[in-house]
Structure 1
Amino acid sequence: MPIEIHIDGEPCAAEADELLASVLLRQPVPIFRKHPVDGSPRAAFCMMGVCFECLVEIDGVPNQQACVVKVRDGMQINRGLS
């Protein structure tokens, strides 16, 4: 069933119960965050919650692992890319 989430303030279609990392990897810019030390772009790597490369802010809560979170309607995602 299609739902709508918001990524960096922009609406995005997703399927209910889809993993957030899957949705983010389909974006035109599939970057999840910038490395806190050198600013290099990061994205999901292990897709099973071990590497922590997929950290994003979800509904105002920082450092959430996108690879283990299922999307839900109205979810607000902030990748902190700006």
Structure 2
Amino acid sequence: MDIGAQLLQAGNLMLTGMVGVFLFLSILIFAMRLLANFAAQLKEAESSTSRQKIAKTASSQGVPQAHIAAISAAVATYRKNN
């Protein structure tokens, strides 16, 4: 086998490897973007559901007056001491 044939075979092998790596990385990037979009949609659906639950519980129950009084007293004490 002469040097020309060996260089041609080496070039072929290098080109095949580079195309393989390029294809693998392209598929990986596509899959990661697809997964990121799916996760964003899932998070958006969960947050809208939790916001609806929070809005229902907050509007129906409210904050007890005892908690408001305790927090006000704690803030007043903190401000007085500092």
- TM-score, normalised by the number of residues in structure 2: 0.15
Task: Indicate the structure with greater strand content.
Answer: 1
* Structure index of larger Rg: 2
Structure of higher RCO (CA pairs closer than 8 Å, 6+ residues apart): 1
- TM-score, normalised by the number of residues in structure 1: 0.15
Task: Indicate the structure with greater helix content.
Answer: 2
